[in-house]
Chain A
Amino acid sequence: MTYANAVSGVNGVDGEGARRLTVVTAGLSQPSSTRLLADRLTEAVRRHVAGDVEVRVVELRDLANDIAHNMLTGFPAPGLRDAVDAVTGADGLIAVTPVFSGSFSGLFKSFFDVIDKDALAGTPVLAAATGGTARHSLVLEHAMRPLFAYLRAIVVPTAVYAASEDWGATATRNGDRPGHGVDDGVDGTLAARIDRAGAELAALMNARPSRPVGGVGEAGATGAGDETDDDAVVPFAEQLAALTVRG
């Protein structure tokens, strides 16, 4: 599957302007529970964002080779560049990884390693992870939060961990509560945590100005703040003055 095929449908593109939500999912199996969690989180964010949401899903599995090549060559192949642009140009980011060897997966980390370290500064992020048991849930606090702190992104307070057993627990409890949506679900269920995290990310996204749809990648932009924009250049006199060269 190519990246283009991995990009999900665009929601509400009626010209009013929309907020961009990019979803990075590092699950390897197909179908994957990591993607499943990513989709539930996406729906939750969508419910809480005022106005339209333009959603792009980045499946890292499809980009695995390009990510490795970027590490060796120093530049992204076109498919990866498109994905990086979608991440760095987003108003909100959902990042979901499976837990491997007690941390985020190597593929997940590698993707963020090839993104410019300043490109996510100020971007709202919802961090989430999946694993076989609940024993690794602190991965969210001990690995995911420090990663996004380094990137100076804004991580919402609720991070969502889904162990295999949570999928059953969620279904059972929601099933037990006919007529009740997940919005007022029992605190502590996966559905309730997903909804709370989604609301937190949506609140940060709502605080950002909505933008015309489809702007990412236009005018040759390579992400947030193109380094070759004339506006991005510090005039040379200022560079010299900063050094107080005399004589």
Chain B
Amino acid sequence: MQFGIFTVGDVTTDPTNGRTPSEHERIKAMVTIAQKAEEVGLDVFATGEHHNPPFVPSSPTTMLGWIAARTDRIILSTSTTLITTNDPVKIAEDYAMLQHLADGRVDLMMGRGNTGPVYPWFGKDIRQGIPLAVENYALLHKLWREDVVDWAGKFRTPLQSFTATPRPLDGVPPFVWHGSIRSPEIAEQAAYYGDGFFHNNIFWPMEHTKKMVGLYRRRFAHYGHGTEEQAVVGLGGQVFMRRNSQDAVREFRPYFDNAPVYGHGPSLEDFTEQTPLTVGSPQEVIERTLTFRDAVGDYQRQLFLMDHAGLPLKTVLEQLDLLGEEVVPVLREEFAKGRPAEVPDAPTHASLVARRDAEAATDGNAMEVRA
């Protein structure tokens, strides 16, 4: 099982001292956080993509390429890549380039984006959000798998004899997750392709997450990619820890109360009860996170949101120490217990290359038998 962090990349005023980091500070903080994630033994760092203030990460492959050059092991991912408003041809090329530079340590999470004006700014219609996600991904999928593509669709200029360059590393495209909170169409899309499904459950009751993942698992099996248990599932999470639970609550409360999205709404206590947010000791975070499996079954990737709402960099780095040193090692051990052998790990570049070679060998044997 993979553990990691995902960042929204918001520039938010620290409510405890009124200080707002500059964009430059925030961008540098994000890459520091990514390097720290590798240092403390996490498996994945994922960045969001946004095209409006107060968010800074508009150019994920630039940022991930920089991080790739300064890390050795961590998988670089997105949360999410906007499949609706980006040109799928450019996604194919940018992420294949990143895949080469990072020696395969790359995957992506597709998302539609929920900021209305971004669609018209990029020449798209938000009412076509789902059809754009469907068509653009169909093209992206093809561009990574076929050297020469002839293609025509509804939303983009047609392609004749087009080859996306560079070709994916070792001829194997990056693994793709599809992220959606509410749309069954996206769970269906992930299932159809045998891709991963990521439910960013951090603002939602677990009961809803359970239903969406259940749908994805049933449809994954329906399309013949394996059993329901073999579907590839990722979840979000949101934690704030101090050794002493009361200290965590006291320190995090002003950030919670003023946070973008849920600030000035429900109490910290209600929100932690109704959503996966956990504020407390490392042990409490461990116990809460282990319950996610009860809701969605054995799963493959757990990402935590650690650096939003104006938390200072120093605090975030302390959080990552606790996460990497005290929480994740126990989670690895506990999630491994009782995990059926047939439940796969999240695909990596190495495992995808091995699978491709194994399938080629099987096909070759079949050919010999027929001959």
Contact = CB atoms under 8 A, between A and B. Distances in A.
Contacts of A175: none
A244 B151 contact: no
B266 A235 contact: no
Which of the four size classes fits the interface of chain B? 35 or more
A220 to B, nearest CB: 7
Contacts, number: 93
Interface string A221-247: 010001110101111110110111111
Contacts of A234: 185, 188
A72 interface: yes
A227 to B, nearest CB: 5
Given A69-B265, A227-B184, A243 B135 contact: yes
A77 to B, nearest CB: 6
Given A228-B184, A240-B134, A220 B207 contact: yes
Interface in B127-172: 130-131, 134-135, 138-139, 142, 149-154, 159
Interface string B178-208: 0000101101110110000000000111011
Contact of B182 (A68, A226, A227, A243): A227
B212 A228 contact: yes
A72 B188 contact: no
Interface in B256-291: 261-266, 270-271, 274
Chain A, interface size: which category? 20 to 34
Contacts of A222: 208
B184 A69 contact: no
A74 interface: yes
Interface of B: 130-131, 134-135, 138-139, 142, 149-154, 159, 182, 184-185, 187-189, 191-192, 203-205, 207-208, 211-212, 214-215, 218-219, 261-266, 270-271, 274
13 contacts: A74-B203, A75-B204, A77-B274, A236-B134, A239-B134, A239-B188, A240-B134, A243-B131, A245-B138, A245-B152, A247-B149, A247-B150, A247-B151
